[in-house]
Copies of this chain bind each other. A is one copy, B any other.
Amino acid sequence: MNNTNENINQKVKLDDVANEAGVSKTTVSRVLNNRGYISEKTRKKVNEAVELLNYHPNEIARSLFINKTFIIGLIFPTTNNPFYGQLIFHLENICESLGYKVLLCNSEGREDKEKSYLEMLQRHQVDGIIAGSHNRGILEYDNPQLPLVGIDRYLSENTPVVSSDNYDGGKKATQLLIDKGCKKIIHINGSPSLETPANLRREAYEDVMKENQYYPQSYVIGENVIETIFNENPDVDGIFASDDLIASSVMKEAKRRNINIPADLKVIGYDGSEITRMLLPELSTIQQPVKEIANLAVRLLLKQIEGETESQIEWKLPVNLIESETT
């Protein structure tokens, strides 16, 4: 007893604290978790022993017993992207404030990685998963046991999806270009076959174009799309890109071709994440309410974890048009 060296070579456990304090481990557990009645004297003894031995409860053992890990899995394409970087920051932040930790998974948009991550997270007994990526939704996300929320992504029939109001965003972007006098407006987006809510950006674009008697022309992101667009449409005077990175590539290519923005070509992007706003403030864009999206996603997930049911599946949060110099 009173051996301050107990913690030298081995992790100290409940038993060690109990020995040090001269009580049973049940009592120590009770002190630590504030359960039942304990005399002030033993409480003090125990706390001193905890302090002395620098004891840290083993969450793994605890998790095994209570059958809950307080861990949330996050599956997104990559943190190396302004939008996802910001989203993941907020997701982690909110989880942390609610006592949850996050296991991070960079799927790189690859189905095989996503699949193995999903499996891994289940083995690790995560309490729930928040996933988003512009992948097809074929995955085994339909385990009814597993609390799940998608961000801008349909995961399975009944899993909640949180996203910005993509349709409204697409509408605002297209309308702005039209209002600014563009006649030949082109839209760039991911493949429609991915069936993500981001498709609504395209739908809105097409609807607004038609309403204004213009011919909608959407290109799918891929090898040299931007060059192709310029080559095939020398008279293009407006481009609505479905994210800011693409918009920045458009700007770069326009510069290379000596096309003046905004005089000859107007460009608007989508996302409006902090880093993009900082590094490319001249880009007009549709800003997503990233923090609110993260917040809602976490709350919907926790509801599921706590067994509450929520009938609403789709959640759309309002976007914000940022008019800058490229329009």
A151 at the interface (CB under 8 A from B): no
Contact code string A258-269 (vs B, CB < 8 Å = 1, else 0): 000000000000
Are B120 and A105 in touch, CB under 8 angstroms?
no
- Please indicate the chain B residues that have their CB under 8 angstroms from the CB of A275 in the complex: 80-82, 275, 279
- A101 to B119 alpha-carbon distance, docked (Å): 12
Contact code string A154-168 (vs B, CB < 8 Å = 1, else 0): 000000000000000
Which residues between 41 and 90 of chain A lie within 8 Å of chain B, taking CB atoms? 56-61, 63-64, 69, 71, 74, 78-82, 85-86, 88-89
A124 at the interface (CB under 8 A from B): yes
User: What is the total number of residues of chain A having a CB less than 8 Å from a CB of chain B?
Assistant: 49
- Please indicate the chain B residues that have their CB under 8 angstroms from the CB of A93 in the complex: 106
- Please indicate the chain B residues that have their CB under 8 angstroms from the CB of A125 in the complex: 58-60
Which residues between 246 and 296 of chain A lie within 8 Å of chain B, taking CB atoms? 248-249, 252, 273-276, 278-281
Could you say which of B58, B63, B79 contacts A89, with CB atoms under 8 Å apart? B79
Are A56 and B122 in touch, CB under 8 angstroms?
yes
Given A123-B56, A125-B59, are A92 and B106 also a contact pair (CB < 8 Å)?
yes
Are A123 and B57 in touch, CB under 8 angstroms?
yes
Are A64 and B60 in touch, CB under 8 angstroms?
yes
- Please indicate the chain B residues that have their CB under 8 angstroms from the CB of A103 in the complex: 71, 101-104
Number of copies: 2
With most chain B CB atoms within 10 A of its CB, the pick from A79, A106, A249, A276 is A79
Given A58-B123, A124-B60, A280-B279, are A85 and B92 also a contact pair (CB < 8 Å)?
no
Q: Name A113's closest neighbour in chain B (CB-CB).
A: B96
- How far is the CB of A270 from the nearest CB of chain B, in Å? 15
Are A252 and B274 in touch, CB under 8 angstroms?
no
Given A69-B60, A123-B58, are A82 and B82 also a contact pair (CB < 8 Å)?
yes
Which residues between 165 and 187 of chain A lie within 8 Å of chain B, taking CB atoms? none
Are B124 and A101 in touch, CB under 8 angstroms?
yes
Contact code string A100-142 (vs B, CB < 8 Å = 1, else 0): 0111111000000000000110111100000000000000000
A303 at the interface (CB under 8 A from B): no
A245 at the interface (CB under 8 A from B): yes
With most chain B CB atoms within 10 A of its CB, the pick from A59, A71, A103 is A59
Are B278 and A248 in touch, CB under 8 angstroms?
yes
Could you say which of B59, B92, B248 contacts A105, with CB atoms under 8 Å apart? B92
A11 at the interface (CB under 8 A from B): yes
- Please indicate the chain B residues that have their CB under 8 angstroms from the CB of A79 in the complex: 79, 85-86, 88-89, 92
- Please indicate the chain B residues that have their CB under 8 angstroms from the CB of A69 in the complex: 60
- How far is the CB of A109 from the nearest CB of chain B, in Å? 13
A-B complex: 5 closest residue pairs judged by Cβ atoms:
A85-B85, A80-B89, A279-B279, A104-B104, A59-B123
Known: A59-B124, A103-B103. 7 other contacts (CB 8 A): A56-B119, A78-B89, A79-B79, A81-B85, A248-B278, A275-B279, A279-B279
